[in-house]
Structure 1
Amino acid sequence: MRVHEYDIVVIGGGPSGVPAAVQAARLGARTLLVEKNAGLGGTTTSANVAFPGLFHAWGEQVIAGIGWELVCRAVELGGDELPDFRHDERPHWQRQVRVNAPLYGALLLEEVHNSGIELRLHTMPASAHWTGELWELQLCGKDGLETVTARRLVDCTGDADVIGLAGLERRRNPARQPGTIDIRLSGYDVDALDHDELDRRHALAVESGELLASDLGSRGRPLLPFLAKRGENAIHLVGIEGATSRGRTAGELAGGAAVLRIYRFLRSLPGLEDLRLDFRASEVGVRESVTIAARTTVTGQDYLAGRVWADSVCHSFYPIDIHRPDGNGIDKTHLRHGVVPTVPRGAMVPAGNPYAVVAGRCVGSDQAANSALRVQATAMATGQAAGALAAMAADRGTDVTGVPMADLHRVLVRSGAIVPTLPASAEV
């Protein structure tokens, strides 16, 4: 059986995986990108969280590069304009850049193809083994198993799937944040509704078990905010296990059941008889599953302090944003004015094998830091850094920690990224 050989294999074609593969290919690496879904974009397209951010902090851009290029291209193609982020004091959720998800997904496919990246859709990793010289991977596609090798491996699955297959340690918090199934509702006028009556009926529905307390995203009086948002990114699905197929299956079943519960309940209310469900995302969005046991673990304290590590690869900017594990709302801690956190390379490198690198949601971090690091703009930045690290390490015959930070930064800046200013004690 022929074994296909690559310099870099990137597993996962979401917010971190596409920039990783494009960056590696731009450095001349023979690159394979593997994605389980029918298209690219991950959370942005499949879960329809089509507002990647945040790229700006305190009126200045802090994340750019390949991901930002693609977002800007989608905005332009959609006939929209980017907001003016200077002197922007709006709440963080109003500073998101919205993209047209179908257009964005098509642009990602075009970029990957034009970059000379070999692409496998409808494909998942089945095994991963480090021989001491190469990664041997078995991929499972519609036509069976295929063996490929890679000089360096980039895990952008969001759940550290390949790190787990390789027998490297992953960490789970005992109480994880809920997932969400995204929907869009129409057919009603929010201002014409009897809000007190709707709140009364909602309380009775939760008491009787017709609805779960977490269905509308929080307890108390959640119905008006839910209807005002048309259901967008609001449903909480508690207890989701995102890192296993069984867990994801249970999550999808829970998402489908929640949509039906909510739809049937709302249609029974006065003023909502003509309510329509216009859209349902194709998969449940997972906020939290696992993180890697990394060389460096970013804590919430590190994040809120805006720590600049000696091996920082990119910025991150988002409040601590912990959706309570019981589904009852969100605990937010906002950054102090002027603070811009960073992500260290050490958080992207598994403690047990420095010949692999991860990007996106599963970087080494505690729950507080991860609730901010998980967002798409940061995933794009860590993805581009991971692609550069892997390609440079493969070319030099070193592990990914052997790439000098000054060299990495030069490569990233040439590709449009913004890199943190390292402390004076850092390697230059």
Structure 2
Amino acid sequence: MKRVYMYDVVVTGGGTAGVAAAVGASKAGAKTLLIERNPYLGGEATHSGVSAFCGFYSCGADPVRVVKGVGDLVLEEMKHLGVGTDDVISPSGNRNINFRPEYLKCALDNLMMREKADFFLHAYVIGAKKEGRNLQVLRCMDDEGEFEVKAACFVDASGDANLAHLSGAETIWGDREKQVQAATMPFRMSGVDTSCDMSPAAVEKAILKAKEEGIPHLTKEKGFILKNKGSDIVTVLLPSVLPTGLSAEELTRLETETRKQVLYYVQALKKYMHGMELGELSVIGPSIGFRETRKMKGRKTITAEDVLTRRKYEDGVARGGWKPEIHKDVNKMGTYLEVEKGSYFDIPLGALQSADIDNLYGAGRMVSADETAFAAVRVMGTCFATGHAAGVAAALQALYGAADVENVRAELKRQKALV
């Protein structure tokens, strides 16, 4: 007998955006399911080991808080686990929140269960059925076989617009030349003396020496090493590659190429980076970290002008505080476009709504934005905010037939989000 599950809202993807969407929808009263293909939640934060939340604060000097709501609930749960998080000023001069990925996996489990948002791990969406402009059924797969999930509304938080793609909705790949931002394979090293200079300048000096000495397979020369207080484990963000698609063939190339780079970066850092002489490789990835792949085409598109002028919208449902951070060269650090310090821009509801499917929302890296604007909205802090907004909007549409923007804003405020 075929398994069939019935929900008000279904979220695909369990990263920061997906968790925020599921929790937001459940808190708004919708029976909610999240589907995740990995064995744990967290997305890039856990599955790629990116151990810093960017975007909870605005960029530059005098940062202001722009993300709360579900994002705050996650930070509180980390504190309850006894590890907490560290507010730090990064080498780029921006205020980030560093965390320990292994504890985050447990914190997200706890939050989802406490807020009564169901979730299936080890589950894949393999197809979608729609009628007219409405999605109705997702075809899914696990190790027992196929099953179906029916819902009134859906949120694509897959990171790669997988649900939008399978549904036939229009998606966008990269810029006008079809180039996306570089992907990076993070890795962790233990036994590091973190009191030493680990700045991008120190990294660059070490990697240039390594290249001069003939150590192969090194791409980026300058990058970030992320530290946590009281720990000798660091996260290194260096091995990089440019994706051209999402096929199994291409993903295999990306993973194997960057894993090879990791081994040579470890060799270079142990030899030329002061404080890392006794360091040991502890974790690779476990998955390559994407900055940009497919995006959903929305009813509205956030533009570079919106981000750079810090534009406010009457139908704003989330705040973005980051500045455009563009990574198009695998050998160089990202370039930043400066914005007014202590400022933020609004993300309108229409940028989270599919242009083609009336009951499909997108969050996180799905947000409809042009190339420059996307470089500001893709960070995980902002993903919490857009996921929260998309989940609440989907819940209200599922329960009451429409997601009126004033009602969405009111519910987000009730859930302590900043709008």
TM-score, normalisation: structure 1 = 0.84
Q: Is the 8 Å Cα contact of residues 11 and 35 (structure 1) preserved in structure 2?
A: yes
The counterpart of 1:367, out of the listed 371, 395, 418, is 371
Farther off after superposition, 99-108 or 195-204: 195-204
State the Cα distance separating 1:2 from its structure 2 match.
Answer: 4.5
Alignment partner, residue 151 of structure 1: 152
Which residue of the partner structure matches residue 336 of structure 1? 340
The Cα offsets for residues 19-48 of structure 1, whole Å up to 9 and x where unpaired, read as: 111111122212111001001111111111
Whole-Å separation in 1 of the counterparts to 2:361 and 2:165: 13
1:353 and 2:357 matched: yes
State the identity as a percent. 28
1:128 aligns with 2:128: yes
User: What is the Cα deviation at residue 94 of structure 1?
Assistant: 5.0
The match for 2:10 is 9
Q: What is the CA distance between 1:253 and its match in structure 2? A: 1.3
- Give the Cα separation in 2 of the matches to 1:97 and 1:226: 14
Measured against aligned partners, the alpha-carbon deviations of 1:101-122 in whole angstroms (never above 9, x if no partner) come to 2222112112212222222101
* Mapping 1:53-132, distance limit 5 Å: 53-57=54-58, 58-80=62-84, 83=87, 94-132=94-132
Task: Kindly indicate whether the alpha-carbon contact (under 8 Å) linking 1:153 and 1:390 is maintained by their aligned counterparts in 2.
Answer: yes
CA change 1:90–1:396 in 2 (3 A) is same
Change beyond 3 A, Cα 1:129–1:264: same
Deviation of the 1:90 alpha carbon: 7.5
Structure with the higher strand share, 1 or 2 = 2
Moved more, 294-303 or 146-155: 294-303
Contact preservation (8 Å) 2:51, 2:235: no
Query: 1:277-317, CA deviations, whole angstroms, 9 ceiling, x for partnerless residues?
Result: 13322111111112111111112221111111232111011
Q: Deviations over 1:139-166 (max 9, x none)?
A: 1111111111111110000111000000
2:287 aligned residue? 283
Could you state the TM-score of these two structures normalised by the residue count of structure 2?
A: 0.86
Matched with 1:47 is 48
User: 2:189 is matched with which residue?
Assistant: 185
Matches within 5 A, 1:191-230: 199-205=208-214, 210-212=216-218, 214=219, 217-218=220-221, 222=222
Distance 1:255 1:156, change over 3 A: same
Contact 1:10 1:20 survives alignment (8 Å) = yes
* Residue of structure 2 equivalent to 1:253: 256
Q: Is the 8 A contact 1:205 1:211 kept in 2?
A: no
State the Cα distance separating 1:325 from its structure 2 match. Answer: 3.4
Amino acid at match of 2:301: T
Contact 1:241 1:248 in 2 (8 A): no
Q: Residues 274 and 74 of structure 1: is their aligned pair in 2 closer, same or farther, counting only changes over 3 Å?
A: closer
More divergent stretch after superposition (70-79 vs 60-69) = 70-79
CA distance in 1 between counterparts of 2:118 and 2:209 reads 56
Tell me how far 1:378 sits from its aligned partner: 0.6
Secondary structure of 2:125 counterpart: strand
Cα separation, partners in 2 of 1:328 and 1:56, compared to 1, 3 Å = closer
- Residue identity opposite 2:288 in structure 1: V
After superposition, the Cα gap between the structure-2 partners of 1:327 and 1:382, relative to the gap in structure 1 and judged at 3 Å, is same
Whole-angstrom CA distance in 1 between matches of 2:270 and 2:342: 46
For these two proteins, the number of residue pairs brought into alignment is 399
Structure 2 residue aligned with 1:300: 304
Tell me the equivalent position of 1:18.
Answer: 19
Task: For 1:323, give the aligned amino acid.
Answer: H
Please give the alpha-carbon distance, in whole angstroms, between the structure 2 residues aligned to 1:341 and 1:270.
Answer: 39
Partner of 1:237: 240
Once residues 35 and 273 of structure 2 are traced to their aligned partners in structure 1, the CA distance between those partners, rounded to angstroms, is 48
1:259 match: secondary structure: helix
Q: 1:270 to 1:178 in 2, by over 3 A?
A: closer
The answer as to 2:37 corresponding to 1:36 is yes
Offset at residue 363 of structure 1 (A): 0.8
Deviation at 1:73, TM superposition (A): 2.4
Alpha-carbon deviations, 1:346-380, whole Å to 9, x = none?
11111111210000012111221111100111100
Gaps in structure 1 of 5+ consecutive residues: 420-428
Cα distance, 1:281–1:201 mapped onto 2, change above 3 Å: closer
Aligned to 1:425: none
CA distance in 1, matches of 2:153, 2:71: 22
Give how far 1:255 is off.
Answer: 2.0
- 1:124 is displaced (CA, Å) by 1.2
Tell me, yes or no, if the aligned pair for 2:42 and 2:108 is still in contact at 8 Å: yes
What does the per-residue CA deviation read over 1:61-100, in whole Å, with 9 as the maximum and x for residues that have no partner?
22110122112321453344665x9xxx886655211222
RMSD: 2.9
**CA drift at 1:18:** 0.7
Q: How far off is 1:270 after superposition?
A: 10
Matched residue SS, 1:377: helix
SS in 2 for 1:56: coil
**1:314-336 CA-partner distances (Å, limit 9, x unpaired):** 10111211012343221111211
